[in-house]
Structure 1
Amino acid sequence: MQLMSRCGKASLTHPPQHPSAHILASGNRDNPAVVPSSSIATHIESSPPVTMIIETVVVLALFIFLTFKGASRLRHLWQLFRLMGESKFNVPMPISRLGALDVASVIALMALKYIYSFLGLLPKPQPDADRVHILLPEVTAIAKLRVTNRDERRFDLATGGPGKDRSGRDNRVMFLPALVNPMLSLLLANRNCPVLPFGCVNTQNSFEVHDPTIARDAAALREDNCVVMAYFGGPERKGRRVKRGMEFDIRIVVIKFDSRGHGDAVMEQVITILAYLPASAKPKSRPAEASNDEPRVAWTGIRRNKVSLGLLSPRDWAAVCKDYNPIHMLRPMAKLFGFPGTIAHGNHVLAVATQQLLTASDTDDERFDDMRCKMVYSEAPFVLKVIFKRPMVLPLDLDVEYGLVDGGGLGLRVAGGGKEYLAAWMT
């Protein structure tokens, strides 16, 4: 079953010039227990005093730190500030090489958008003529990518080690999506993007892998032969009015170039985000038109593996994907945004579960083993899609169950205490 529309391989004849962070929680779009802040410039209410104080402290602390470090740091911040005002920009360093200062700067620039919104300086999204979609300004970012052995070691530390294919080669299914994740934060920090990022929820992701060998040898993607492109808004990516707010997509494409300068997409990722809106926001939602992308899966009913993460586990994952969202790091901050405790990164849980899938076996069901080998060992392109059902509070110890997708494909879901937290399908 096709879970994501195939947009074909992206093709370029010449690499773009230069390129480079996730400030989102993973959760259920309709879960009333997760109601952070409103998120569209035209409809957002004034930020709560506590939130404004925190934002001010973050900006001032960053300014003091930069001043202490010297003028070169201030110039770097000024360069980032200018880039975040351009609708099309090249990131001045490989996206996978963002440092702590870069990440802190991007978070501060996200906070700055709240001041711009209060002053009426952010662009205002407009309802489309169909009264269902929302027109969003187009923002495009380009970055280079540099993969090192240290990146692979960090991924292995966060996910429990690399899986092995039948030839004994390392296989890291979610490695590349994690490395390019900072592109998301850069687009949300951009002042041409009307979305206020704090409190947004990542509801689902799709990964279309055109070249599965990159999961085994991502280090082959060098700075001189690979670029990452990220897209927000525009006529092809309109916002969608849903029950609790607006859903929108960010598309990330990794392109590898050959010796002749011809480029093909090796991986395309679509990140779906929910920005909460007041009930009075226009256009009004039409719940009856909401689509359900979940395929039919014959679950085995047997828990094959477990995902166990401690309170400090998000730090290991953030070292790979650069998502230092406070709701993943600090319990008080998570509670401030309406969560019951520190929240696990959704893609972190998915990455652990997919790594376990590489070595999972089911001697009672040969069909499962056949499909598993076909999906995770094949050189053929595949699509991995995940839907996050509810936030996963740390520490956690959840079960992983596998199944066969109706029409072909492999499914996995993470559950515990009678609740399903995420479901994913590989087709």
Structure 2
Amino acid sequence: MTTATPSTPPTPPSPATTTLSGVPALAPLLARGALLSPLKRPRPDADFPRTRLVLAGLRVDLARLAAYERACGFPTGADALPLTYPHVLGFPMAMRLMSGRGFPLPLLGLVHTSIGVTRRAVMPTTAAYELTVYVRGLAPHRRGTEASVVTEARTGGSLVWESRSTYLARHRATARPADGAPSEDPGPLPATAEWRLAGDVGRRYAATSGDRNPIHLHPLTARLFGFPRAVAHGMWTVARCLAEHGTPDAAVLRADFRAPVLLPGTVTYGAAGGRFELRGGARRRLHLSGEVGPYPAP
């Protein structure tokens, strides 16, 4: 009698690493992503690129950093990067992955739905950083398919900052929300400020971040993707809230982009403890909810 031996599942191959010699140019990547977008049919079981992009020796452009700080409301001149700024540094690398033929979601109309950030220490503006960016995976979403993209920043060989962003390609879907999806609106936090947002907020943030998704730039281009007016960048809204709220030197952040902030418009900032939010309109619709606290979390 022969006894069957359970087979061992094959070990998945290690992801390939591509070392970059410089920051990718955004304009051709965005153009490539726009041209390829109509050819893509997103689905959560699609294959995705496993390549890890690595860029070493990156130094911050201090003039561009100052413009970012002004656009988001951070104080300028401090020798420390805002908590959200490494996302901007890694954005061209993320676009290289998401604009490629192998990425299954169309770049045009892609919506940033959440971000989680861990900063282990203050990040000096004059330090040299090594960035790593990769796609972690795809997941079904009640409104389409969501991709998870990871960015890591190291200095002196140590991991000092990491993030996980999710991006939604909207299409007809029947999937339930994935685990960890935002809960129902728990009710407003105490309102502490009201901001009147000009129609050019998206264009000003795009100039400092490089994120020129058409939904953020002009009402006409936003309407092509189902929005009545231009939409503020999710990362601008969370950065503006953190500029108001403040952050610990070593911090953990979670933010969910619940509903688009239309431009121009008026929003109300609310905060209590480590929690913060943006609401808008007569019905105080929840646009953004987040929480920031010390690392390691108590």
2:159 to 265, 270, 273: 265
Q: Letter of the aligned partner of 2:259 in structure 1?
A: R
Task: Provide the C-alpha distance between the structure 1 equivalents of 2:110 and 2:258, rounded to a whole number of angstroms.
Answer: 15
Structure 2 SS opposite 1:252: strand
Say if 2:291 is the partner of 1:422. no
Instruction: Pick from 113, 116, 119 the counterpart of residue 36 of structure 2.
Output: 113
Tell me the amino acid that sits aligned with residue 157 of structure 1. Answer: R
Deviations 1:196-255 (A, max 9, x none): 1112221111111111x11xx2x2322xxx2111111xxxx3321222211220001011
The match for 1:180 is 90
Aligned counterpart, 1:158: 71
Deviation digits for residues 91-139 of structure 1, max 9, x if unmatched? Answer: 332x3xx6xxx32211111123247x37xxx9x9783xxxxxx553413
Match runs of 1:90-109 below 5 Å: 90-93=19-22, 95=23, 102-109=25-32
Identify unmatched segments of 5+ residues in structure 1: 1-86, 128-133, 258-262, 359-375, 405-409
TM-score (norm 1): 0.58
Q: Distance in 2 between matches of 1:329 and 1:298?
A: 31
Give the structure 2 partner of residue 221 of structure 1.
Answer: 127
Tell me the residue number matched to 1:396: 265
SS of equivalent residue, structure 2 residue 18: strand
Query: Secondary structure at the residue paired with 1:227?
Result: strand
Q: How many residues align?
A: 275
| Per-residue Cα deviation, 1:366-400 (whole angstroms, up to 9, x for no partner) | xxxxxxxxxx34x4x32101101111111122111
Q: Pick the structure with more strand per residue.
A: 2
* 1:278-293 superposed matches below 5 A: 278-279=172-173, 285=175, 287=176, 290-292=179-181
Report deviation, 1:190: 1.7
Seen in structure 2, the aligned counterparts of structure 1 residues 387 and 161 have a Cα distance that, compared at 3 Å, is closer
Q: Using a 3 Å threshold, how does the CA distance of structure 1 residues 125 and 89 change in structure 2: closer, same or farther?
A: farther
Instruction: State the alpha-carbon separation in 2 of the partners of residues 150 and 171 from structure 1.
Output: 13
Which amino acid counterpart does residue 150 of structure 1 have in structure 2? A
C-alpha separation between the residues in 2 aligned to 1:242 and 1:325?
21
Q: Quote the offset at 1:297 in angstroms.
A: 7.7
* SS across alignment from 1:112: helix
Q: State which of 103, 111, 117 in structure 2 corresponds to 1:201.
A: 111
**Residue among 78, 89, 96 paired with 2:18:** 89
CA offsets, 1:383-420, max 9 Å, x none?
Answer: 1011011111111221111123xxxxx10000122211
**SS of residue in 2 equivalent to 1:320:** helix
Cα–Cα, structure 1 residues 311 and 298, in superposed 2: closer, same or farther, change >3 Å? Answer: closer
User: 1:296/1:315 Cα in 2 relative to 1: closer, same or farther (>3 Å)?
Assistant: closer
CA distance in 1, matches of 2:153, 2:81: 18
The Cα shift of 1:154 comes to 0.7
Match of 2:215 in 1: 327
Structure 2 CA distance, aligned partners of 1:394 and 1:356?
Answer: 20
Instruction: Identify unmatched segments of 5+ residues in structure 2.
Output: 1-15, 294-298
How big is the shift at 1:265? 1.0
- Tell me how far apart the structure 1 counterparts of residues 210 and 161 of structure 2 sit (CA, whole Å): 19
> Taking structure 1 as reference, are residues 140 and 171 closer, same or farther at Cα in structure 2, changes over 3 Å only?
closer
Percent sequence identity is: 22
Q: Flag the 1:315–1:256 CA change in 2: closer, same or farther, 3 A.
A: same
CA contact (8 A) 1:163 1:171 kept: no
Higher helix share: 1
For 2:261 and 2:152, how far apart are their aligned partners in 1? 28
Secondary structure, counterpart of 1:304 in structure 2 = strand
Structure of higher RCO (CA pairs closer than 8 Å, 6+ residues apart) = 1
Q: 1:397 to 1:229 in 2, by over 3 A?
A: same
Cα displacement string for residues 67-109 of structure 1 (whole angstroms, at most 9, x for unaligned residues):
xxxxxxxxxxxxxxxxxxxx7533332x3xx6xxx32211111
- From 185, 188, 210, give the equivalent of 2:120: 210
In 2: Cα distance, 1:422 partner to 1:126 partner? 25
Distance 1:135 1:103, change over 3 A: closer
How far apart, in 2, do the equivalents of 1:341 and 1:347 lie?
18
**Which of 170, 183, 195 is matched with 1:276 structurally?**
170
Q: In structure 2, do the counterparts of structure 1 residues 289 and 189 end up closer, same or farther at CA, with 3 Å as the change threshold? A: closer
**SS of equivalent residue, structure 1 residue 180:** helix
Q: State whether residues 116 and 164 of structure 2, in contact with CA within 8 Å, keep that contact through their aligned partners in structure 1.
A: yes
Name the residue aligned to 1:83. Answer: none
In 2, Cα distance between equivalents of 1:277 and 1:205: 21
Instruction: Give the distance between the partners of 1:312 and 1:183, measured in 2 at CA.
Output: 26
Letter in 2 for 1:186: R
Q: CA deviation at 1:289?
A: 6.0
- Larger Rg computed on CA atoms: 1
Q: Secondary structure at the match of 1:247?
A: strand
Question: For 1:22-101, what aligned pairs fall within 5 Å after superposition?
Answer: 88-93=17-22, 95=23
Contact 1:180 1:321 in 2 (8 A): no
